[in-house]
Structure 1
Amino acid sequence: MPKLLLYLLFTLFPLISFSQIKITGQILDTNNNPIEFATVTLLSLENEIVKGELSNETGNFIVELNTGGHYQIQISYLQNILFEKEIVVTENMDCGMIKVENYILLDGIEITAYNQPKIVKEIGKYVVSNIASSPLSKNRTTFDFLGTIPFVNNNPDGNSITIKNRKEAKILINGREVGDKGIALNILKSTPAEDIKKIEIITSPSSKYSAATQNGIVNVVIKKNNEGLKGAVSSGVSQSYYNSQNANANLTYSKNNWFVSTGIGVNNYRFKSKQNSIYKDYINQQQTHIEFDNNLKNKTITPFVNIHYDLTSKQSIGVQFNSSFRNNSTTNTSQNEYTSLANNSVDSLNQSTIKSRNPNFKNLFLNANYSLKTDTIGSNFELNLYRFAQDNNTRITNVFQWNNGSQSILQQPDVDMEFYNVVADYTQNFQNEDVLKFGINYSNGQTNNRFFHGNYDGVEYVSDTLRSNDFKYNDNTFAAYLMYQKLLGDNWEMELGLRWENYEGEGLYENTSVEQKNNYLFPAVSVLFYANDNNEFSLDYRSSFIRPSYSNFNPNSYYTSANSYKRNNPNLLPILSHSVVFNYSFLKHYSLDIEYDYAKNTFNEFDIVRPNGLIETITDNYGKGYELYFGFTYNKHFFNNRWNLTASLFYTYDKSDGIYNGIDLGFDNTEWGLGLKNFVYLNKTKDAILNLSYGYGSANRSILGEMNAIHSLTFELSKTYKNFNFTLGAYDLLRPTLELREERIEYSFYKRQEYFKTAYFRVSYFFGNRNVKSISNKQGKMSNRVE
């Protein structure tokens, strides 16, 4: 059977006709004047250039092809896209007159252009294109540009990207994994936005993707045009409680069959947090008051390289190597005050210092890939091989000082992880635009966690055999998927998918075995309906899961203060969830989302006060819950497109039921919030931009406790001068102190965490072969039809 499958994938291709096929047309402006020297490019569905020609003095063009197929025709001038449309070519084709309503002013010459990003809704996702022509992309990084998309939020501290109401999204580059989150973010911060062909905001990932991508995917597709050598360098400094510095560099070379991209990020980050916590144990009539002062130092170097080579017009290979090297250092000082609730008197006082050092933390990621086009309408086979390795050896020294003495312990988790993954995908496109996709996936993970717990005897740290262990975990995952996408008439589109995942994991420690075996089917259904240009509906159903992280599996405990500790849990089950999302987009500026989510085996990290008075932080499955979400988004340009406004409003109701060790953890929660993103062009050339973003979230309830309302305000001023960009900004300007409260029959707690405002300044320089030097844009509309 495998031999037969390979034979079908690699040898059964359509016959090729070598007769010339001509595509003709004429490019005109709105006054029916011809446009000369416009570039007419035919691209494959994989975004690779097939053929290109220039229009003549009458605006006419002729593009000759050897074979028919499914292509995208693109008309541009000085890198500004005038027109894009997918076409199916089976014989000579006359596109007729292509009219464009926009124009830009360049050295006194008016030409047409479309200078705003195009956002198109597709099955389960939004596709953002025409990025390079937007003023918001000029001399800015891809990470910065993502924050300008209406339903995407890039955290101003640079540590995460979210989609709508979801948590952190998964980041792919050219449809592939790139390693851990830090590596992916560094690539986005190093890559110029003008180098991006398109961005896919996948709100409802299809069956092709892992069932653990319930928070959505951001897939960034980089251009592979023949533009020679170019690059960018940037350097920034931020001031919060401490001063931090960072620098990024990117270099790309694209010529003929080669595309090479490489870069590096360097970060010297310091962070301070202060927390005040009061725990009350009503059973033992004891109160513990803990004051934490935490200081973090993090030095990171993140190099990456991506090499792509076209073997033929149908076959390509690639390799990428990404890595991250960190030197982490944390010092946490705390004071524990113990008070009797009976007589309100202080029983004892303890001061502790916990120093955590990890000077050699590293992540290494390698990907090798092969791609084969199996016909001329976009069908293809892809094979990806992945390897990821992590070395994390942390030395945690705890010194506890009591009124009558002191104690010193050493906690040292030495963790080595190695993962291998093989992914094979096949896509079959049909002439009627239906699409069939199927694939298989196998992954293997090996984790070796050597945890040392030692007590200091005056000379050295002596291992505590009851707390030290050597934990080894090995798992295997098999997955397969099948999905079919079909057009149902001119206005309807539907996608059906099914994914199967089989997981087997085993952990060994001290002659004890911990096993997890599960076998799941994850169905998915998506429907998209185009009523007309002003009304669009979509409905998506998806089932998914969240697996526990490998750090949870070693059944050890480590102290966070004199009477508080954190305990891992090797018996955690994955969260299984089902979601239904309805979206209605109307009048081109409005979007309404209604989402229902149900989950069982829910787990999270939470605090409890044990009957012995110790404070335990534990991650465990505690029950089930559901959530109902309403979201409304408005996006529009004002004042001749000088002001881009995105306003969003949401309301959430969620309910959770669960019990842990006889403690009822259930809760009901209602929450609402709003967000405003403003991008204002401060001059006619649109090279000075003001960004003001405000967010509000009401008080809410979760497994963590009751949290106060949160405000946020981000200010950013950006100015482009020639090939330079200067950015000055600040965030957390209105953010209050975070407060968490919990009141139960057995215990209660109150936590207060202080935030510090942050200001930053960044300089970027872009160099190399850049086709567009200085363009003054005037916005209008573009015709989406070929007349």
Structure 2
Amino acid sequence: MKKLLISLSLLTGIVAFSQTDSAKVQNIENVTVTKKVIQKKSDRLVFDVSASPVAKGNTAFNLLKETPLVSSTDDKTLKIAGKSNAVIFINGKKTQMNADAIEALLKNTPAENIQKIEVITLPGSEFNVESSDGIINIVLKKKLTDGANGNFRASNYQGKFNSQSSSASLNFRKNKWAISSNLSSRNQIRIQEYDMMNGDARSTNNSVGYVKNGTFDIGGYLNIDYDLSEKQTLGFSYNTWYSENFDTETNLFNTIKFLDNSNNWQTHYNRTQNFMTSDDLNNNFNLNYELKLDDKGSKINVNAAYLKFGQTEKNQSMTSTTNSQNQIIGLEGKFNQLIPQHIDNFSGTVDFTKAFKSFTLGAGGNFNKTKTDNDTYLENLDLNTGNYVKDLQQSNHFVYDEKISGLYLNFDKNFGEKISAKLGARMEFTDSYGQILGSTIEVARKHQNFLPTFSVNYNINPTNSISYSFTSRMKRPSFWEINPERIYLTKVNYVQNNPFMKASSVFNQELMYMFKSAYFLQISNSYTKDATTQVPLQRTVNGVNELRYIRTNYGTKNNFAANLGMNKSFFKQIWNVNYVVGLQINSYKGSIDQDPITHEVFDPFVVDGSLVTPFVQLQNTVRLSAKKDWFLGVNYFYLGKNRIDLGTLKPLQQLDINVKKIWNDWTFSLDLKDILKTNKIYIHDVQPTGKFNIIDQYQDSRKAFFTVTYNFGNQKIKKARSIEGAASEIKNRTGN
């Protein structure tokens, strides 16, 4: 059920740039500057925040939300224009923690430690990231001071349920040693309300109810650096995260209507309840060696890593016959399901950078070896005997081995002061084999992919610049997506994963114009071959309409976007704005009519259409006091009717208000999210066959947050390096 909730909640991921986090907090520090500095280089947008009025008393997370092209929809993950995900780098090193741990890291990193933020919308060949990933590189200040510092943070937020979170971080530097550590925990309850309907002119299935999910998370990280010499550094990184789901329940009242053989309407009512418990533990170990070859940036970087992930999920589901008032009459069916997942990964990377007189050469390679083991078990209750019987069709033991190696080469050159360019390519080799033990179902793949990249920037004059970028990438399915399990929503409505999913090929282009380091026009295009989604396949069996959301490749998608933005301060930094208006055109084409595992035939699901969608993002911060210690934030976004692969998404909008008080080393914040309760998901799709599918979902986005943060110690300490994990890409594919 967890994966289903994630899938439905991320339906709006394709509009990431238009949505802003409802807790957009813009904090102004007690420093006088004239403007924020934004510079466009050949492959990245650079935001110089070393003297920014939003730094003091802020966190890295909130500062990132002030950065052009960056937004957040859930106060947890960060997104870049046109990207479904933002990968966090620190000092050029990719973080290898999961989303929860990265959130804790950013919310506990003082913004005063940051020199600049680099936004890389289309990563070059040297970056080992997925096709839909953009990069945010946080460059820390270089001033080095021995000592210790840290902070505590506690937050309480109220929606339909009350939730809490807390974290603490400690940083220490002495002579050749540098240590950074963090411990975070969270206890939250989420509820999602559903009204779903599918069917055709002869049969319909309407499900109304809720999904409630309680979680407790705890985890942290430890980074240690030791300077072997002035040019050599040895680093060790460990991070861990434990998550436990409790009090998780799906409760749906289903109304099933169909025409019988006499062409009369018949109605059947039932209730589906699912109770789920799960826990997962993720441990990452990384050893890093760095050798600086000169003072121009030449270096060698070597990583070795081990990742171990384990998850256990237990589901108990029952379907009861009811009357029209949802009162239980009898038991229709009951089953127990156990869904474990275990992942072991060994990884290594080598990167070489050499700065010559007229250009910079980059080269390197990576290797990943991953083994997954998923032994799914399902048993049904025999209503005649009262005993549970193993379902041989729904129980399977799937093992999967994958080896991925890659080589890259790139050249970076400045042609005078006005033109800079980067040319590169990756060559990736994939060798994978998966099998459902005891069956004839297996999947084996061996292929190579050549992935070129190119970017160029032209500084026309001091106030005008223009840049162009092109990248090609592979997007591989997550490991949980290829585990052939079923996750039931109702007895005849469920998600089914697919071991036969192929990697998608993605080609990205971007053209950007900047004026006076405050205004920008971005035009981008992304074309995906063998695109994937949860394809909703329907068929009618004995008068009942069955719906399967099957993860599979369906065809192609083409996404176009044009964004006009402004990031500027007015009235001597009293009023700060980050505005974006734009249009996007999402086009999809493809067709699926068969279950890729069972080969059962369904009515074809056709994806063929496009739609022009406007959006507006308005972020405002107003300084309320001359002492620069009271601030008001007012933020709003609107997204028009949008075409996605599952159908048409109705307009979305959200209004948020924030009040913040800074008192010495203390920061107090009150955030009111989705005040008008307008951020609701409504998806509608009608197929040429007459089959329709409707999803009406509300995720309890209207909430109130109260947060207290305290910073202590010497704030000028340079942290230990956040080491890029060799297993970082593999970690992202665990889905946690």
* Range of TM-score over shorter length: 0.7 to 0.9
Residue 663 (structure 1) aligned to one of 599, 602, 605? 605
Please tell me whether residue 336 in structure 1 is matched to residue 254 in structure 2. yes
Q: Give the secondary-structure state (helix, strand or coil) at the position aligned to 1:226.
A: coil
User: CA contact under 8 A between 1:667 and 1:702: conserved in structure 2?
Assistant: no
In structure 1, the residue matched to 2:346 is 420
User: 1:605–1:620: 8 Å Cα contact kept in structure 2?
Assistant: yes
The letter of the residue matching 2:220 is P
Identity of aligned residues (%): 26
Alpha-carbon distance between aligned partners in 2 of 1:365 and 1:222, rounded to the nearest angstrom: 23
**Superposed displacement of residue 724, structure 1:** 0.2
Q: Distance in 2 between matches of 1:258 and 1:753?
A: 51
Amino acid at match of 1:548: P
Instruction: Tell me the number of residue pairs that the alignment of Structure 1 and Structure 2 aligns.
Output: 657
- Deviation by residue 1:406-460 (Cα, 9 ceiling, x = unmatched): 321011111001112101000001234x211000100011100010011134666
Aligned to 2:685: 742
Aligned match of 1:384 in 298, 303, 312? 303
Contact 2:369 2:403 (C-alpha < 8 Å) held by counterparts: yes
CA distance in 2: counterparts of 1:294 and 1:754, whole angstroms: 10
Match of 2:601 in 1: none
1:171 aligns with 2:83: no
Q: CA deviation digits over 1:289-340, x for unaligned, max 9?
A: 1113111101000211111111100000111111111111321111111112
Partner of 1:568: 497
What is the CA–CA distance in structure 2 between the aligned matches of 1:593 and 1:653, rounded to whole Å? Answer: 14
Could you tell me how far 1:689 is from its partner in structure 2? 2.0
**What is the aligned counterpart of 2:713 among 750, 759, 768?**
768
Paired residues of 1:337 and 1:346 also in contact (CA < 8 A): no
Contact 2:30 2:56 in 1 (8 A): no
Q: How far apart are the structure 2 equivalents of 1:717 and 1:104? A: 17
Residue aligned with 1:182, SS: helix
Partner of 1:245: 164
Structure 2 equivalent of residue 448 of structure 1: 373
- Residue in structure 1 matched with residue 622 of structure 2 by the alignment: 680
Deviates more, 1:637-646 or 1:437-446: 637-646
Give 1:663's aligned amino acid. F
Letter in 2 for 1:428: K
- State whether structure 2 residue 229 is matched by structure 1 residue 303: no
Separation in 2, partners of 1:738, 1:663: 21
1:733 aligns with 2:675: yes
- Choose 1 or 2 for highest CA Rg: 1
Is 1:693 matched up with 2:635? yes
| Matching residue of 2:510 | 581
Which of the residues 205, 208, 212 maps onto 1:288? 205
Structure 1 equivalent of residue 573 of structure 2: 641
Q: CA deviation at 1:771?
A: 6.2
Alignment of 1:444-483 (within 5 A): 444-457=369-382, 461-483=388-410
SS class of match (2:100): helix
Q: 1:257 to 1:127 in 2, by over 3 A?
A: farther
How many Å separate the matches in 2 of 1:595 and 1:265?
A: 37
CA distance in 1 between partners of 2:220 and 2:386 (Å)? 41
Shift, 1:341, TM fit = 5.1
Q: Please state how far the C-alpha of 1:511 moved relative to its aligned partner.
A: 4.0
Amino acid at match of 2:681: L
| 2:449 paired residue number | 520
2:536–2:605 Cα contact (<8 Å) kept: no
C-alpha distance 666-519 of structure 1, shift in aligned 2 (>3 A): same
| 2:290–2:302 Cα contact (<8 Å) kept | yes
Residue type of the partner of 1:199?
A: I
SS of the equivalent of 1:144 reads: helix
1:136 is paired with a residue whose SS is: coil
Alignment of 1:147-226 (within 5 A): 147-155=65-73, 157-174=74-91, 175-210=93-128, 212-223=130-141, 225-226=144-145
Alpha-carbon deviation of 1:722? Answer: 0.8
Select the structure with the greater relative contact order (CA < 8 A; seq sep ≥ 6).
Answer: 2
Q: 1:498 offset after TM fit, Å?
A: 0.6
1:570 positional shift: 1.0
The secondary structure found in structure 2 opposite 1:146 is helix
Whether 2:240 is the aligned partner of 1:323: answer: yes
- d(CA) in 1 for partners of 2:100, 2:615: 28
Deviation at 1:198, TM superposition (A): 3.1
With normalisation by structure 2, the TM-score equals: 0.86
Displacement of 1:228 in angstroms is: 0.8
Q: Is the 8 A contact 1:205 1:214 kept in 2?
A: no
Tell me what 2:277 maps to: 357
Q: Which residue of 1 aligns with 2:415?
A: 488
Unpaired runs of 5+ residues, structure 1, are 1-102, 106-112, 773-787
Paired with 1:104 and 1:601, the residues of 2 have a C-alpha distance of 51
Partner of 1:74: none
- Structure 1 pair 648–341 and aligned structure 2 pair: CA distance change class (3 A): farther
Q: Give the aligned residue type for 1:391.
A: G
Q: Which residue of 1 aligns with 2:313?
A: 394
CA distance in 2, matches of 1:114, 1:313: 35
Please say if 1:235 is aligned against 2:169.
Answer: no
Equivalent position amino acid for 2:277 in 1: R
Paired residues of 1:172 and 1:184 also in contact (CA < 8 A):
no
**Match for residue 267 of structure 2?**
347
Query: What TM-score, normalized by structure 1, do the two folds share?
Result: 0.81
Would you say the 8 A contact 1:491–1:529 is kept in 2? yes
Q: Could you tell me how far apart the structure 2 residues matched to 1:602 and 1:104 are?
A: 49
What CA distance in whole angstroms lies between the structure 1 residues aligned with 2:90 and 2:131? 15
Name the SS of the counterpart of 1:209 in structure 2: coil
> In the alignment, what sits opposite 2:698?
754
Asked if the contact 2:39–2:517 (Cα under 8 Å) also holds between the matched residues in 1, the reply is: no
Cα distance in structure 2, aligned partners of 1:549 and 1:460: 36
Q: 1:130 to 1:672 in 2, by over 3 A?
A: closer
CA distance in structure 2 between the partners assigned to 1:709 and 1:313 by the alignment: 56
Partner SS for 2:126 = coil
C-alpha separation between the residues in 1 aligned to 2:117 and 2:710? Answer: 23
SS at match of 2:76: coil
Post-superposition CA distance 1:316-371 (Å, at most 9, x none)? 0111111111111321111111112576744211112101101x311111111000
Which amino acid is 2:636 matched to?
A: Y
For the 8 Å contact 1:115–1:135, the answer to whether it is kept is no
Question: Contact conserved, 1:723 with 1:766, CA < 8 A, in 2?
Answer: yes
**Equivalent residue for 1:653, pick from 581, 585, 595:** 585
Kept in 2: contact 1:535–1:584 (CA 8 A): yes
1:504 aligns with 2:424: no
Q: Deviations over 1:109-151 (max 9, x none)?
A: xxxx7575543322211233343x4342222221111111122
Contact 1:139 1:765 survives alignment (8 Å) = no
- In structure 1, what is the equivalent of residue 558 of structure 2? 626
- 1:246-276, Cα deviation, whole Å (9 max, x unpaired): 0011110123222111011110011111101
Cα deviation 1:376-410 (Å, max 9, x = unaligned): 32210001112222111000110111255332101
The answer to whether the aligner puts 1:617 opposite 2:559 as a matched pair is: no
Q: Which amino acid aligns with 2:571?
A: F
Q: 2:527 aligns with which of 594, 598, 609?
A: 598
In the aligned structure 1, how far is the partner of 2:394 from the partner of 2:342?
19
Which one is further off, 395-404 or 226-235? Answer: 395-404
